[in-house]
Amino acid sequence: MPRNQQILLDNRPEGEATASNFKLVTTETPPLQDGQVLVQHHFLSLDPYMRGRMNAGKSYAQPQPLGEVMQGGIVGEVVESKHPRFQPGDKVVGMGGWQQYSVVDANQPGALRKVDTTHVPLSHYLGAVGMPGVTAWYGLVKIIAPKAGETMVISAATGAVGSAFAALAKARGCRVVGIAGGPDKCKYAVDELGFDACIDYKVHKDANSLSKALKDACPAGIDGYFENVGGMVLDAVLTRMNAFGRIAVCGMIAGYDGAPLPLTYPALILVNRLKVEGFIVSEHMEIWPEALAELGMLVGTGKLKPRESIAQGIEAAPEAFLGLLKGRNFGKQLVKVH
């Protein structure tokens, strides 16, 4: 019965999320029943979607329940098993949440998946070769459906989704332009991630100014846009979309803290005959094998070199998460717990 530190959602944010919304508690893991597996977590995944689930309002998923362990993806190692398919030492990906251990009912479909760490480091299964990578793949391949020579743009360009998006779009012969916060991230996007250009949105005070920068970076206009942030960035991109452009809407992090951010020129959807489509990658499990195969190949051949920001210790998770929402991370944000 190992001692298990956990982070619970203690209360819901009013406006901006803060560390006081979370509570650290210590319990013991319960004894295993038949079909269950005890997983020691190595890394927790921190992802922007978690902010939306901290609110009580209607969203695509049930809100994160109060007083329960923050939900989220983990990678780790089986330490005890009462399920024939899992043995101690197996490396696994699951949804164990913000804690040091989880007890998993391994008969539940998709609850726990064994992974091979020969060519892909374990932590990457939470990023480039995991949910964020597949998210980039679905938005690019299934919604945007790019043609060689087209121009693709993505916001939050140096995050886990953005870096995978760049590699996938370059592999399809596209020009890829990122939008990120700060000169370091923009330099990294171009030097390391393969972006053809990257725009620092922080030097632009309004959508009009950002739109001019996009015009320079996208001389042939924008054919596909992968939306992670909403607000001013979306307004600016819409003014540069080509006729028959496609926008995959994956996140609107700028509006998560309260006041909704309006879209200033919705008529551009008509004027430019755009397709704008929202999606959640967990609703499209049928494409995961194909997507993971391509992402694994890109990582294995060095064409996708994802960076990670790693916070140390379970107690660091809340501050690391709040930093992620403010864009303080550099690449995939993880928490190392063992």
Comparing CB distances to its own copies, the nearer of 34 and 286 is 286
Residues in a beta bridge with 333: 309
HSE, side-chain direction, 13 A CA sphere, residue 176: 26
In this structure, which amino acid lies at residue 31?
Answer: P
Three-class SS of 127-167: CCCCHHHHHHHHHHHHHHCCCCCCEEEEECCCCHHHHHHHH
Q: How far is the CB of 245 from its own copies (least distance, A)?
A: 10
Q: How far is the CB of 313 from its own copies (least distance, A)?
A: 33
Q: How far is the CB of 111 from its own copies (least distance, A)?
A: 24
Q: What is the binding site for its own copies (CB under 8 A)?
A: 58-60, 230, 234, 243, 249-252, 255, 260-267, 269-280, 283
For residue 295, give the nearest of 181, 130, 142 by alpha carbon. 130
Q: How far is the CB of 147 from its own copies (least distance, A)?
A: 18
Q: What is d(CA 67, CA 84) in angstroms, rounded to the nearest whole number?
A: 33
Q: Is 142 exposed, middle or buried (0-12, 13-18, 19+ CB in 10 A)?
A: middle
Comparing CB distances to its own copies, the nearer of 153 and 198 is 153
Q: What is d(CA 305, CA 167) in angstroms, rounded to the nearest whole number?
A: 9
Comparing CB distances to its own copies, the nearer of 140 and 234 is 234
Comparing CB distances to its own copies, the nearer of 241 and 322 is 241
Comparing CB distances to its own copies, the nearer of 146 and 245 is 245
φ and ψ at residue 9, rounded to 5 degrees: -85, 115
Q: How far is the CB of 51 from its own copies (least distance, A)?
A: 12
Residues in a beta bridge with 37: 81, 104
Comparing CB distances to its own copies, the nearer of 30 and 262 is 262
Q: How far is the CB of 80 from its own copies (least distance, A)?
A: 39
Comparing CB distances to its own copies, the nearer of 35 and 255 is 255
Comparing CB distances to its own copies, the nearer of 19 and 271 is 271
Task: Check residue 99 and report its DSSP letter.
Answer: B
Q: How far is the CB of 247 from its own copies (least distance, A)?
A: 9
Instruction: Find the Cα–Cα–Cα–Cα dihedral 162, 165, 167, 171, rounded to 10°.
Output: -160
Q: How far is the CB of 251 from its own copies (least distance, A)?
A: 7
Helix 288-300 crosses helix 160-171 at what angle (to 10 degrees)? 90
Cα dihedral sign for 9, 11, 14, 20? negative
